[in-house]
Structures are given as structure tokens and as C-alpha cells.
Amino acid sequence: MNPSNKLALVTGATSGIGAAFAERLAADGYDLILVGRRKDRLDEFAAAHPEVAVTAVTADLSTDDGIDTIARLAATEPLDLLVNNAGVSHYMPMAELPADKARELLGVKVLAPTLITRAAVGPMQARGAGAIINVAGMIAFSGPADKSVMPRRATYAGTLAHLVAMSQALSAELDGTGVQVQVLCPGVVATEFHTRQGLDLSAIPRMSAADVVTAGLRGLELGEVVTAPGVEDAGLLDAVFQADLAAFGGQSTHLATRYR
């Protein structure tokens, strides 16, 4: 690796948003550690980008071994940027979601980004610089929706909500350290993500993965903690967060009247 180049680690780098991050970061001169399940795609990317150093790591982030492998890299490599992007969809009502798929989803979208971030954040603090992008989605804000909103996906929505709350709280923990944290929340994106689930969204307007990456990197420049590429009025997000804090601050040790 070129010591003058910045270094980024991207999970889920073989397609979609992760591949778009890899392309953009390579164009920006980053050396890359790319993580995915498909070795052929990782090797193809490395061969197509001889201008930067690319380390391809095959790992399954639904497993303890896969998570531990990448967490060790995050702890020992001098990362300037960590992009926790790996994901699986598994859109199903909870009662219909097989246990093995639930475990896979929680592994990839909760355990992996949490433990990889935990491994990276200490060394970033010690260096006084670095950035972490956790890729979630606007579904994190869909919890109050009624049953007319389909497909039902309680477990999936919960994993994304975890990433939002974790990223917000971690950003506060890291205030003043030089380390940035962002949770990137796109809506529907034109990738292979939904087709793997057997969903045909070709008739639905979708954002490009490249635009999501543009928003994420620009969001870091703007100092955003929550970046929503498709939300024009950022005041809507501010209203959500202020309402959250109002509810949090509105509690007391006395039983609320409505429960008496």
C-alpha cells in the first residue's frame, strides 16, 4: 500500500452500494480493504484498479469467524474510513421468518457493524482522526406505519433502527475526538439487493447507488450524523430527533396519569 494514500475498509463490497463506495473511493485515491462473500467479484475489482492497493477479504459476516476476521483488520489497520455496508434483506413478517434467516440478518446488520465499529473506533481515537459510515435505510423510521405498509419486515426494520440509535449515541461519545460517525439512510436503491429476495422493483423509481455514495461522502463534509439521500427537507429529520429528545426528557419517576 502507498503510505501517502488514505485507507478505507468497505464491507459488502461486491455489489450495490458497497461496490459503488469502492469505485468512488478508488477514484479518490484510497487504498482499499474490500470484504464480501464472492471472491471472484473482489478479485475482478482488484484487477481492474491497479492504480490503488486493493486487499480482497472473503468473509461471511453472519458468522462469528467472519466478524472476528474483519474486526481484527479494523483494529490493526490504520483506517481513515470504515464503511459498514454489508446486508441481507429477508423481508418477512416475524412469524414467517425462519430462525436461521433471522440469525443471519442480526449477524450481518447488528453484530457485524457493532463489533467492527467497536474494533475500529479505539485506534481511530488514538490517531485523532477517522470516519465510520454505517449503512442503514429509511425503513429505520417506518416503525409507526400501519399494516397497509408492505412488505412487513419487523426484524429488518429493527436492525436498521439499531444502526441509527447506535450511530447517534456513538457520535456523541466521540465528540471532540476527531472521529466522525454517520448513519446513511437511503430509500429504495437500484441494486441487486431486492432481486435476491425475489422482489421485482423495476417499475418503482429508485435512486442509484452512486448517488447514495455521493450523499454519504458529502454528508461527512457537512458533519451530518444521519444522512438521508432522498429527503429534500432536512427539517423533517430534525423534527424527528427533537421529538425523540422531547419524549426522552418528558419522563419522570411518577406513574403517568393515564396508567393510574
CA distance 23 to 146: 38
| Residues tagged active-site | 156
CA distance 201 to 196: 11
The contacts of residue 216 (CB under 8 Å, 6+ apart) are 21, 83, 133, 135, 182, 184, 227, 229
Peptide bond between residue 151 and the one before it cis (omega within 30 degrees of 0): yes
Helix/strand number for the chain, H first, E second: 8, 7
The cell numbers describing 235, all together, are: 427539517
The cell numbers describing 255, all together, are: 406513574
